[in-house]
Amino acid sequence: MATLKIIRKRISSVRNTQQITKAMKMVSAAKLRRAQDAAVAARPYAEKMTELLKNVAARVSSEAHPLLQAREEKKIQLVLFTSDRGLCGGYNANLIRAAEAFIRKNAGEKEVEVTLVGRKGADHFRRRRANIVDRYIGILAPPADELAAEIGQKLMARFINGETDAVYILYSRFRSALSQVPTLEKLLPVALNETSDTEAQQLTEYLYEPGIEQLLASLLPRITDVAMQRALLEATASEHGARMTAMDSATSNAAKMIGSLTLQMNRARQASITRELMEIVGTAEALK
């Protein structure tokens, strides 16, 4: 059995760890509120932009803009969003596992290039010598719109120049602090849904000025930026939610461990007292 001194040191160490995890939980909870509000607020705008794009694209062909032109997918670019820091449970592990499954699925006949947003994903795939195109570290430092615009511009340029045939994004969609779902979406080429005659009649009629082609040329790059910005906001909210949940669980586990160690310490102390009493009684009997 461990001595009282060792047990007391363990209790002190676990209690210090509990204070750290509790503080990290409170910080993540405060950041989660702002990140969740930003992610939820971005959804209606992105949905409305998609609806407008569908309305405009229903009146043009896929040759109207380079970002609409679908071709055989020989080179695929995957954009993976992870966090810069750990201590957030299985958040990064789930995303990396989904990315590796995507790469294995397309590794046979297609060439998969990876753009990594976040330190954890960059470190993981750098050690495995993946075909990395770009890496973005410190994703929370610049504003989300600036980083999204920078990434989006590079992705669109590579697609238009024929350096890649399709672009997919993999991020964690925020549902709640307890649920973050890895989500894979096709970013480029922008998909045009087939519109039936009935749906075409239900589409909202707009008056376009100057024209549909000019509006589409302005709208499509913006759609890409909005998709990237939304993915960043969802990923940020998911990271804070996962870290808050992980730190809450760690704090609870530390409390259970402190209780177990305290019980062990009390048993060791009682055994020590009993042993000392028996020695005193034995000595007194020997002196009679």
Q: What is the pLDDT of residue 243?
A: 92
pTM of the model: 0.82
Catalytic annotation, residues: 88
Query: What confidence tier does 12 reach under pLDDT thresholds 50, 70, 90?
Result: very high
146 φ/ψ angles, rounded to the nearest 5 degrees: -70, -45
Question: Is the distance from CB of 230 to CB of 46 less than 8 angstroms?
Answer: yes
pLDDT attached to residue 205: 64
| 94 band by pLDDT with thresholds 50, 70 and 90 | very high
pLDDT at residue 199, as a whole number = 52
C-alpha span between 85 and 137 (Å, rounded): 10
With vertex at residue 186, the alpha carbon angle to CA 181 and CA 192, rounded to the nearest 5 degrees, is 130
- Position 195 pLDDT exceeds 60: no
Query: Can you tell me the mean pLDDT for 249-268?
Result: 91
3-state class of 183 per DSSP? strand
Q: Is the pLDDT confidence value at 135 over 80?
A: yes
Nearest to 187 by CA among 153, 131, 228: 228
Range 28-33 average pLDDT:
89
pLDDT exceeds cutoff 70 at 241:
yes
- Domains located in the chain, CATH noted: 22-246 (3.40.1380.10)
